[in-house]
Structure 1
Amino acid sequence: MSISRRDLLKLAGVAGAASVAPGMAQAQQLEKKDVVVAVGGQALIYYLPLSIADIKGYFKEEGLNVQIADFAGGSKALQAVVGGSADVVSGAFEHTITLQSKGQAYRTFAQQGRAPMIVLVVSNKTMAGYKTPADLKGKKIGVTAPGSSTNMMASFFLAQHGLKPTDVSFIGVGAGAGAITAMRTGQIDAMANLDPVISTLIKEDAVKVIADTRTLKDTMQIFGGNMPSGCLYTSQEFIDKNPNTTQALANAIVRADKWIQAASPDDIAKVVPQSYLLGDPDLYKLALKGNKEALSPDGSVAQDGPQTALKALAAFVPNFPTDKIDITKISTNDFVVKANKKYPNA
């Protein structure tokens, strides 16, 4: 029996389909369904996409069973992953650079924030006559903790205006009620902090904003480029072993990023837990409005983001080993590119 070229092509197609189909099915299978995500302060707007992905069921729809472990701060969340009690961190982008400087390969694969969301304010009580940054000389500046991102942002602002970190006193005040009390009672003259702390003080007219990295304009001005903030990151080993699971996590975060951009402050306030509102829904909505520009619209890290973050760390951390850092290995947009194709209008 003679077989025509067309028949051969048909047979080849069938054989090809038979060999490809199992592979395609395999590609959809998650290597790890149960995932622990560590975060330092889940209720912060900084981590809103993580909460939305969880609340709206986006993780579940990707076949994941995500458990969120909430810690007191980003450094504790980081320790959980390095120590093995969590798989992924929802934390600050620059942590991946710090880890690489210590010989540990970690990578960002989905972004939640495209600006640091840190605001520098001066007290209307102790600095009512504030005119220029030079007025900060000799003053007490509250930061969440010494050595934190808030400390780095304040130091950058001072340097831009000819002041050294030693020209002021940095005081750790946390990111909650203690920070608000410190400002209200005059224990500090200025503060670099995040929402809801900042919006609380703005609402009661206790402070004046002098630099605001909730906006892309001030972020560019202070850091000299795009400065990524909240993201999902994990070890390169986890990504290599669990590419489909990593993709599923990125899909959920990208959907959450897009939902937030399309939602109103009212929509968001209705779905988050009551505890996030701190008993004042209007204040929470004010904070949402103030931070919306800084939240990522699509999960991707800007091309100049890694370099900006590296420069910031190198300028802030004494003797930072910049020559040890390969910035091509601290983030990837591969997973969010696929997520955006899957959910173009999520």
Structure 2
Amino acid sequence: MLHWKKVAMSTSLGAMLFTLTACGGESSTAPNTADPAQKAETVRVTEVIRSIFYAPQYVAIEKGYFRDEGLDVKLDTAWGGDKAATRVLAGQDEVALVGAETTIFVQQQGSPDALVSFAQCTQRDGSFLVARQNVTNFDWSMLKGKSLLGSRAGSMPEMVSEYVQKQHGIKPLTDNEIIQNIAFDNQAAAFASGTGDFFQAFEPAASLLEKQGQGRVVASFGQDGGKLPYTVFMAKDSYLKSHPQTAQKFTNAVQKAQTYLHTASPEEAATVIKPYFTDVDQDILVNVIKRYQQSDSWPTDTLIDQQEFDNMKKIMKDAGQLQQDVPYEKVVQPSFAEKAKQN
């Protein structure tokens, strides 16, 4: 049995702050509009968590992009990167939406049937730096001598955070204090109660703190950390080889969703994905989508390029989480995204 400790730690742990209970819109079950007589092909997808960050996926379902490609997407939520990867490796689901670093950890474990990323959902870290008050002319050096309510050691959010700090001349845990002993679902309340000078927050926690007058977003870890395949769609290598047309149709639909999110207003996009976040106030949902659009979180296409992949490995290596180098071509299949982009 594979050991998933590192996978679990490295998968966007901050996600628990911007996830909400799954509620509706779980399947694109309508018949293929191109050929109503043809039965749609079922593709089981497991997402690591439920998050507004993953809007391209929900848009592809709700706008009928998967359906138009002849696919019936059955979506479930694994609530954990280790669980999502295990479900795909065990054949319970065909596709997983999870951090691309998962493919590297699985490869390092020596899996006989590698997990391969084939379409990108998000291209930057999705966390934001929240200060107690608005800071004019913010500079990362302001974290020196301060306390930061951060993410768990070894997680991708924490790796990005420490990488960004080092890029700005800060020695994490030496020049400052990083608070890592508070459970993610309690962090927003802890910050509101006075814990930490700064907070590495995920949405919608960041927007809620601003609305309540208990914090202000002053920087984006995603923008300063650079582009990387933060969240991707992946499948077993054997599945992609045996179902290339399915993978292509799936990628085509995600490409359409990415294009939509770069042309739609936050208000329009919020209405589309609302069925997945019924307990989020509409103004918060709109604000989160606007923030992700402004921070360039969603790519214009689904292609995971070599430079982004290498940047992710650089961040992992800097954090001591890359045991051995894993070549791009071992865990990334770009052909489906390249074709979807051309079309």
Fold shared, TM-score > 0.5 on shorter chain: yes
Which of 115, 126, 147 is residue 124 of structure 2 equivalent to?
115
State how far apart, in whole Å, the 2-side matches of 1:132 and 1:340 are.
Answer: 36
The partner residue of 2:88 within 57, 72, 81 is 81
Aligned counterpart, 1:296: 299
SS of aligned partner of 1:304: helix
Amino acid at match of 2:53: Y
Among 219, 222, 246, the residue aligned to 2:225: 219
**1:278-297 correspondence to structure 2 within 5 Å:** 278-292=279-293, 293-297=296-300
The verdict on how the C-alpha distance between 1:69 and 1:174 changes in structure 2, with shifts beyond 3 A counting, is farther
Cα deviation 1:273-311 (Å, max 9, x = unaligned): 345264421121111111012111111123301111111
Name the aligned partner's letter for residue 342 of structure 2. K
Q: Is the 8 A contact 1:310 1:322 kept in 2?
A: no
- TM-score, length basis structure 2: 0.77
The structural deviation recorded for 1:206 is 2.3
Given that residues 150 and 193 in structure 1 are in contact (C-alpha distance below 8 angstroms), is that contact kept between their aligned partners in structure 2?
no
Give the number of equivalent residue pairs.
Answer: 298
- The aligned runs of 1:327-338 (5 Å cut-off) are 327-338=328-339
Unpaired stretches in structure 2, ≥5 consecutive residues = 1-37
Q: Does 1:33 align with 2:33?
A: no
**Aligned letter for 1:321?**
Q
Residue 268 of structure 2 corresponds to 267
Shift of 1:132: 5.5
**2:256 aligned residue:** 255
Equivalent pair of 1:118/1:150 in contact (CA under 8 Å): yes
Output the CA distance in 2 between the equivalents of 1:247 and 1:174.
39
- State the Cα distance separating 1:256 from its structure 2 match: 0.9
1:314 to 314, 317, 321: 317
Distance 1:314 1:265 in 2: 36
Moved more, 197-206 or 264-273: 197-206
Change in 2 beyond 3 A, CA 1:172/1:278: farther
Q: Does 1:102 align with 2:105?
A: no
How many Å apart are 1:268 and its aligned residue? 1.0
- C-alpha deviations, 1:43-90, integer Å up to 9, x for none? x23211111111122222222221111122333322322333221111
TM-score, reference length from structure 1: 0.77
Matches for 1:194-205 after TM superposition, within 5 Å: 194-205=202-213
The alignment partner of 2:219 has SS state of: strand
Structure-2 residue corresponding to 1:14? none
CA 1:106–1:155 in structure 2 vs 1: closer, same or farther (change >3 Å)? same
Report how far residue 211 of structure 1 moved.
3.3
CA–CA separation in structure 2 for the residues paired with 1:78 and 1:173: 26
CA–CA separation in structure 1 for the residues paired with 2:83 and 2:182: 17
1:131, distance to aligned residue in structure 2 (A) = 7.3
CA distance in 1, matches of 2:183, 2:75: 22
Task: Give yes or no for contact 1:46–1:230 (8 Å, CA) kept in 2.
Answer: no
1:155: Cα distance to partner? 1.6
Q: Which amino acid is 1:199 matched to?
A: S
Alignment RMSD (CA, Å): 2.8
Partner of 1:185: 193
TM-superposed deviation, 1:134: 5.7
Displacement of 1:135 in angstroms is 4.2
CA 170–153 in structure 1, closer or farther in 2 if over 3 Å, else same:
farther
Give the residue type in structure 1 aligned to 2:202: L
Distance in 1 between residues matched to 2:276 and 2:338, nearest whole Å: 34
Report the equivalent of 2:30.
none
C-alpha distance after superposition, 1:164-183 (max 9, x if no partner):
3465233265665x332121
Deviating more after overlay: 267-276 vs 232-241: 267-276
Query: SS of 2:262's equivalent?
Result: helix
For the residue of structure 2 that corresponds to 1:121, the secondary structure is: strand
Match of 1:139 in 2: 147
- Which residue of 1 is the match for residue 179 of structure 2? 170
- Determine the C-alpha separation between the residues in 1 that align with 2:184 and 2:278: 15
Matches of 1:174 and 1:154, distance apart in 2: 17
Q: What percentage of residue pairs aligned between the two structures are identical?
A: 24
SS in structure 2 of the partner of residue 120 of structure 1? strand
Range with bigger deviation, 152-161 or 227-236: 152-161
